[in-house]
């Protein structure tokens, strides 16, 4: 530590044929606009629940993508947490086995034997794929790249999934949902402003051409909760789902 304070140089011996994480530290965000914004809301109407999410590219990102050195958001993954009480409602019986309800881009087919063929799928997305993943206990929306190469830069993208709760399933009063947004931007250090100035090794090889820069983003977005009251509904129960 004392040597680093004096020289500002990090020395290490990497293991052979292994990928390793050399250092992790906290830093203040560099202050630039995020490449895209997302808004999400859960709308409750009686026993029916609908999650809606919308993605819009920022104006700065639209300008940058027109430059010769284009930088895209890749490996975009957005997770919407699902309360434990709702998990049964996210599965459907398919003859002798259960399968997770999922949707692909522009897919209009029914996913499950409990619905009519003409009905909409439980989960719909305008780009990428979405399905419930038990490892995260969340509906996971995955997008290969933003902006999408098949859409205009200012075209918004959306996710919607509808759920009907059973009589034994309610909205937890202590459920304050946040969506987790993760993505990678290559060839940039814009997120932290931290940059490796040089890299040297003891041999005559030049390692610089093998060095890549990536910015990993991990954000949380609050999911707004909205309650549409029905005639005869208990107002005290509805009050538990006002926007937090």
As for how many domains the chain has, the answer is 1
CA–CA dist 195, 213 (Å, integer): 8
Provide the CATH number for the domain around residue 149.
2.60.40.1170
Look at residue 217 and tell me if it is in a domain.
Answer: yes
Distances (CA, A) of 14 to 19, 135, 198: 9, 32, 17
Residues for the chain: how many in total? Answer: 244
The 10s digit of each residue's pLDDT in 129-178 is 999 898 998 999 999 999 888 877 788 999 998 888 766 566 777 777 89
Look at residue 12 and tell me if it is in a domain.
Answer: no
Look at residue 119 and tell me if it is in a domain.
Answer: yes
Look at residue 2 and tell me if it is in a domain.
Answer: no
DSSP code for 167? T
Look at residue 7 and tell me if it is in a domain.
Answer: no
Q: pLDDT tens per residue, the chain (244 residues)?
A: 688 888 878 888 888 888 887 777 777 776 667 889 999 999 888 778 889 999 998 876 555 555 445 578 999 999 999 887 777 666 543 323 344 445 544 444 333 333 433 445 578 899 999 998 989 989 999 999 998 888 777 889 999 988 887 665 667 777 778 999 999 988 777 677 777 777 777 777 776 666 777 888 889 999 998 887 766 555 455 444 433 3
**Concatenated DSSP letters of 196-224:** ------SSS--GGGG---EEEEEEEEEEE
Look at residue 11 and tell me if it is in a domain.
Answer: no
- Quote the pTM value: 0.72
Look at residue 21 and tell me if it is in a domain.
Answer: no
Segments forming the whole domain that contains residue 111: 27-227
Look at residue 138 and tell me if it is in a domain.
Answer: yes
| CA nearest neighbour of 73 among 219, 222, 220, 216 | 216
Phi first, then psi: give them for residue 63, nearest 5 degrees: -70, -45
Query: Nearest-5° angle of CA 126, CA 229, CA 91?
Result: 45
Determine what percent of the chain falls in helix, strand and coil, rounding each to the nearest 5.
Answer: 10, 35, 50
| CA nearest neighbour of 80 among 52, 105, 104, 49 | 52
């Amino acid at each position: 530590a004392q040597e680093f304070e004096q020289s500002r140089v990090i020395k290490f011996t990497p293991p052979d044929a292994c990928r390793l994480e050399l250092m992790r530290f906290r830093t203040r965000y560099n202050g630039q606009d995020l490449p895209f914004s997302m808004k999400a809301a859960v709308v409750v109407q009686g026993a029916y629940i609908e999650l809606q999410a919308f993605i819009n590219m920022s104006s700065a990102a639209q300008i940058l993508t027109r430059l010769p050195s284009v930088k895209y958001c890749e490996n975009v993954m957005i997770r919407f947490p699902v309360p434990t009480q709702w998990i049964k409602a996210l599965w459907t019986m398919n003859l002798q086995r259960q399968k997770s309800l999922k949707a692909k881009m522009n897919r209009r087919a029914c996913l499950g034997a409990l619905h009519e063929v003409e009905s909409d799928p439980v989960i719909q997305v305008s780009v990428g794929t979405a399905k419930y993943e038990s490892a995260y206990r969340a509906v996971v929306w995955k997008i290969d790249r933003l902006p999408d190469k098949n859409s205009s830069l200012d075209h918004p993208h959306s996710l919607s999934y509808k759920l009907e709760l059973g009589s034994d399933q309610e909205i937890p009063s202590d459920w304050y949902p946040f969506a987790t947004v993760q993505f990678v931007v290559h060839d940039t250090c814009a997120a932290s402003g931290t940059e490796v100035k040089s890299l040297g090794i003891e041999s005559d090889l030049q390692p610089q051409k093998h060095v890549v820069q990536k910015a990993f983003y991990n954000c949380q977005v609050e999911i707004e909760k909205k309650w549409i009251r029905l005639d005869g509904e208990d107002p005290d129960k509805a009050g538990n789902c006002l926007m937090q």
